Amino acid sequence: MKKDTHPKYHDEVKATCVCGNTFVTGSTKKELKVEICSNCHPFYTGKQKLVDTAQRVEKFQAKVDAQKEISKTRKGKKVKKEAQVKKQAEKEARNKK
């Protein structure tokens, strides 16, 4: 094995979060600054916020509602096929006369 290929590991490193929380951990760096920790992460705190500035949720809900309205007026494949067969039979009956 080559010597001095691995960085030095520090057992007690002070990690500081943006929220102000500090904790001690191990790392190859002497000091850590993190954006999010267990004190401010929504999964651990249970205070999850949905930030929807582009109103994507409302747009999606409107699309779903519109599709439901359209599907109420649509006919199924069987109804369409029966109407097509009936129309074709009437056409053939007129041609025979």
Question: Taking the domain 1-47, which CATH number applies?
Answer: 4.10.80.400
Domain parsing of the chain, residue ranges: 1-47, 50-97
Long-range contacts of 40-44 (CB under 8 A, 24+ apart): none
On whether the CB atoms of residues 49 and 42 are closer than 8 A, the answer is: yes
Q: Would you say 8 and 28 are in contact if contact means Cβ atoms under 8 Å apart? A: yes
User: DSSP string of 1-24?
Assistant: --TT-SPPPEEEEEEEETTS-EEE
Alpha-carbon distances of 65 from 37, 58, 70, rounded to whole Å: 39, 10, 9
pTM recorded for the entire structure: 0.42
Q: What is the DSSP letter of 74?
A: P
Question: Using one digit for the tens of pLDDT, what is the confidence trace for 9-59?
Answer: 999 999 999 889 999 999 999 999 998 888 888 777 777 666 666 788 889
List pLDDT tens digits, range 47-93.
766 666 678 888 999 999 999 888 888 777 888 888 889 999 998 88
